[in-house]
Amino acid sequence: MTQPSPEQSNSTAASHYPAVHSSADTTLYDKDGLPVHPSKQKSKLAAFLLTFFLSGIGAGNFYLGQTTRGIFRILGHLATLITPIPWVGWIIGGLTIIILFAWWVTELIFIATGSGGYDKDSRGVPLKS
């Protein structure tokens, strides 16, 4: 058997790992190093508007690929349905409404400013302005 030359073994190893991208490269890459077509890049404006108008169903979170946050948003809003139950429902429902409102405002600020992890989608691709 013949041993592969160092050049052959390096090219084989390199095919299994993502290439290092230069800073001059304008192609978008996800967190796994795979290229992302610009049409697949999520919009900051769309995320903001979905969160502003449809936060009750977690639309902004689902749009950004944050499925767990979206599910918790839906569960939180379902918890407010117990508000009509006297006393206990008023307390739990009222606190839930206050928490959800604070969460909504915080997410809107984070999306608008691109902070708190809201500058990228779940794949690690930056949001386009």
pLDDT tens digit sequence for 79-104: 888 777 787 778 888 888 899 999 99
pLDDT of residue 14: 47
pLDDT tens digit sequence for 60-82: 999 999 999 999 999 988 888 87
Q: Nearest to residue 129, comparing CAs of 18, 41, 30, 24?
A: 41
**128: left (phi > 0), else alpha (psi -120 to 50), else beta?**
beta
Q: Where are the domains of the chain?
A: 6-36, 41-113
pLDDT of residue 16: 54
Look up residue 102 and give its two tokens.
């604070």
